């Protein structure tokens, strides 16, 4: 069985045809620069194939990109797609697990648009288009927020007037749930223990970054909040700030709230601190060459990450394993090393040789033997979406 996994964003649409049992990808495509005259689709027919194809998209909308993809997939006879799984960013309090898509689920996702005004409309555009193009296929929504719906009230409430929560859904939701859940299961497997039995902090470090405390296989706290802006330092997002900064900038710098919000999302984080780039590879190379801004950005990134990891051990009551994942978590020897240098008091002492090899020598482990360990576990959100889709569809046939 193959699942078509779709991740429709505001300017990019990624899709893959995946066998959920083996993780084998038979087709992968990405439509980029949607909404512009330069929109185009590139695709390849297997992960190992060097052959990449590209076409410009005359219709640069999500429905336009989906129509081209659908036409290409009918040519790929071996695709044998049994269902479609959609990544959906915000499920609010409506969704605490993945859901088989019907009109009620579409309404639930629409109701969450105020919480994710850029992402949910794009996700919905992908869903409505594939429901029209593939009416015979069951479709499933997999939410970034759903895994965190198990957080207790002490973790998800802000200390703000209660009616903001009651009337305006102002609370912490958390994101990257598909990735945190996937690597938690994989980490437990590597430790040879049931996921219900391990206390984990998972650190998903990509362009967006978040960490999560997982006990009994459930998220009990996480660093992202009502929006993906809260928490760790990220590529272009600030993470935690003093909200008093808003009034200060509006009063004294002549910037309005919209502009401050834009800068906190797009001009901050590693990019803002370094004045150079949001990309950790560029920053590492620049720091090695003596770039002060790059050095400072990496130092603050690791310091804030270590503080957040330590804080997340409080709800866990200890720690069995810290898991690094995402582009930075899986590949940056320096970020892992500097972060671990703050965490020896938790029993995490870097093994330099194991870290140098990204944990590949010891089932992901990069620390010296101890009661707690740090692991590198590659994430695969597409595979997680494919698995959820297959399992929901097999449990509830149309």
- Residues designated as active site: 144
Rank residues 91 and 326 by Cβ distance to ligand ADP and give the closer one. 326
CB of 73 to ligand ADP, least distance (A): 24
326 near ligand ADP, rule: CB under 6 A: yes
Q: Which one of the spans 84-92, 109-117, 275-283, 386-394 is the region binding ligand ADP (CB under 6 A)?
A: 275-283
Q: Which of 20, 91, 108, 208 binds ligand ADP (CB under 6 A)?
A: 208
Q: Least Å distance between CB 117 and ligand ADP?
A: 20
Does position 236 interact with ligand ADP (CB under 6 A)? The reply is no
| Under 8 Å between Cβ of 321 and 373 | yes
CA distance 59 to 125: 14
The 80-109 site mask, x for binding ligand ADP (CB under 6 A), equals ------------------------------
Q: How far apart are CA 254 and CA 70, in angstroms?
A: 49
Interface pick for ligand ADP out of 327, 349, 356, 363 (rule CB under 6 A):
327
In total, the chain counts a number of residues equal to: 398
The sheet carrying 52-56 orders its strands as 52-56, 40-44, 25-32, 13-18, 2-8, 81-88, 139-143, 99-100
Taking contact as CB under 6 A, which single stretch among the options 79-87, 239-247, 276-284, 344-352 is the one that binds ligand ADP?
A: 276-284
177 binds ligand ADP (CB under 6 A): no
Strand pairing class (209-215; 218-222): antiparallel
For ligand ADP, the binding residue among 206, 228, 231, 364 (CB under 6 A) is 206
Residue 79 CB, nearest approach to ligand ADP (Å): 24
Residue (206 or 359) nearer to ligand ADP, CB? 206
CA 152 to centroid of chain Cα atoms: 21
Rounded to the nearest 10 degrees, the angle between the axes of helix 257-266 and helix 244-252 is 120
Two structure tokens written together for 255: 């910037």
Question: Rule CB under 6 A: is residue 211 a binding residue for ligand ADP?
Answer: no
**β-pair type (373-376, 321-325):** parallel
- Residue 235 near ligand ADP by CB under 6 A: yes
Indicate the residue among 98 and 277 with the shorter CB distance to ligand ADP: 277
Q: Can you tell me which of 19, 240, 267, 279 binds ligand ADP, judged by CB under 6 A?
A: 279
Q: Is 12 in the site for ligand ADP (CB under 6 A)?
A: no
Nearest alpha-carbon partner for 177 in 96, 101, 86, 114: 96
State the Cα–Cα distance between residues 364 and 102, nearest whole angstrom: 40
Q: Are strands 40-44 and 25-32 parallel, antiparallel or unpaired?
A: antiparallel
Retrieve residue 296's tokens: 């400072």
> Contacting ligand ADP (CB under 6 A), which of 86, 180, 181, 331?
331
Contact 239, 304 (CB under 8 A): yes
Q: Which residues bind ligand ADP (CB under 6 A)?
A: 206-208, 235, 279-281, 284, 326-328, 331-332
């Amino acid at each position: 069985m193959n699942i078509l996994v779709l991740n429709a964003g505001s300017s990019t649409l990624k899709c893959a045809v995946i066998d959920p049992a083996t993780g084998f990808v038979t087709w992968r495509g990405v439509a980029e620069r949607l909404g512009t005259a330069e929109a185009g689709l590139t695709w390849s027919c297997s992960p190992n194939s060097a052959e990449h194809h590209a076409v410009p998209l005359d219709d640069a909308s999500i429905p336009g990109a989906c129509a081209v993809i659908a036409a290409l997939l009918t040519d790929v006879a071996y695709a044998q797609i049994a269902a479609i799984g959609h990544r959906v960013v915000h499920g609010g309090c409506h969704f605490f697990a993945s859901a088989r898509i019907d009109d009620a689920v579409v309404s639930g996702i629409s109701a969450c648009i105020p919480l994710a005004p850029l992402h949910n409309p794009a996700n919905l555009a992908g869903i409505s288009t594939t429901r029209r193009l593939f009416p015979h296929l069951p479709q499933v929504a997999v939410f970034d927020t759903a895994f965190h719906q198990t957080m207790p009230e002490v973790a998800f409430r802000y200390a703000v007037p209660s009616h903001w929560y009651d009337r305006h859904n102002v609370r912490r939701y958390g994101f990257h749930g598909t990735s945190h859940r996937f690597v938690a299961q994989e980490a437990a497997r590597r430790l040879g223990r049931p996921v219900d039995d391990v206390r984990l902090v998972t650190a998903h470090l990509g362009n967006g970054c978040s960490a999560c405390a997982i006990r009994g296989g459930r998220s009990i706290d996480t660093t992202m909040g009502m929006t993906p802006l809260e928490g760790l330092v990220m590529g272009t997002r600030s993470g935690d700030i003093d909200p008093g900064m808003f009034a200060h900038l509006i009063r004294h710098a002549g910037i309005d709230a919209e502009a401050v919000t834009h800068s906190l999302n797009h001009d901050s984080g590693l990019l803002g601190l370094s004045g150079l780039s949001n990309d950790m590879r560029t920053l590492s190379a620049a720091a090695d060459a003596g770039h002060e801004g790059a050095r400072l950005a990496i130092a603050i990134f690791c310091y804030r990450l270590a503080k957040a990891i330590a804080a997340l051990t409080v709800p866990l009551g200890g720690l069995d394993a810290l898991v690094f994942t995402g582009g930075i978590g899986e590949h940056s020897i320096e970020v892992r090393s500097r972060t671990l240098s703050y965490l020896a008091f938790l029993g995490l002492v870097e093994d330099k040789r194991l870290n140098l090899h990204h944990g590949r020598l010891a089932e992901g482990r990069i620390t010296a033997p101890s009661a707690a360990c740090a692991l590198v576990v590659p994430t695969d959100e597409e595979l997680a979406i494919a698995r959820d889709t297959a399992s929901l569809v097999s449990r509830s046939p149309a």
